[in-house]
Amino acid sequence: MAISFVAAAVERKVWVRTMGSALYPNLYTILVGPPGIGKGVAIHPGERILREVPDICVGPSDMTSASLLDSLAQAVRRIIQLNASQPYVEFNSLTVISRELGVLIPAWETTLMNQLTDVYDGFYIEQRRRGKDLHIKIKNHRLIFSGRPPPRTLTRFFRRVHGIKASFPGPSSSIQVTK
């Protein structure tokens, strides 16, 4: 989990160049294990620290696909650049922490999962579906997601959404996925 919280603090301030463009640290981390093993306990210290940092935007742990984009659009950051052609760089940076993945992504909410998949690459986002005056444009963004699902939730999700047979048998077992 520590890498998730480091990535949340780094935002879009660190990148690597690959194939001629910048690659930013978008990271989705999911802890898998049986109930009662301490997944939520592992998440809590990092979450507490991130929520105390004034400029880090931590989103709600229960949202729809539309409210994910609303939260990301509101999470505007400006970083001052010294000795650069522009005085600052602007981007959107949101961290979503869900101690129970079923709260964030209910079994029926495939739209949110598809939105998380689409947002992951960090490309331009534009949406105009929820009213004539609402037009969301997000040019540069970064999303960090950390959560802990019960194994049966992951199994149902992979089967229902992606047609993949998957099993998540135990705390130290490897994930088995077949299509």
For residue 172, pLDDT beyond 50: no
Domain boundaries, the chain: 2-154
Fold of 2-154: Rossmann fold (3.40.50)
- Provide the token pair at 142: 């970064």
Distance in angstroms (rounded) separating the CA atoms of residues 41 and 37: 9
pLDDT of residue 19: 86
pLDDT of residue 42: 83
Distance in angstroms (rounded) separating the CA atoms of residues 31 and 126: 31
CA distances from 114 to 10, 157, 162 (A): 25, 12, 11
pLDDT of residue 133: 75
The whole-number average pLDDT for the span 35-62 is: 85
In angstroms, what is the C-alpha Rg of the chain? 17
- How buried is residue 16: exposed, middle or buried, by Cβ count under 10 Å (0-12/13-18/19+)? exposed
The whole-number average pLDDT for the span 111-119 is: 78
Q: How confident is the model at residue 13 (pLDDT cuts 50, 70, 90)?
A: confident
pLDDT of residue 131: 67
pLDDT of residue 159: 63
Q: How confident is the model at residue 170 (pLDDT cuts 50, 70, 90)?
A: very low
Q: Strand, helix or coil at 19?
A: coil
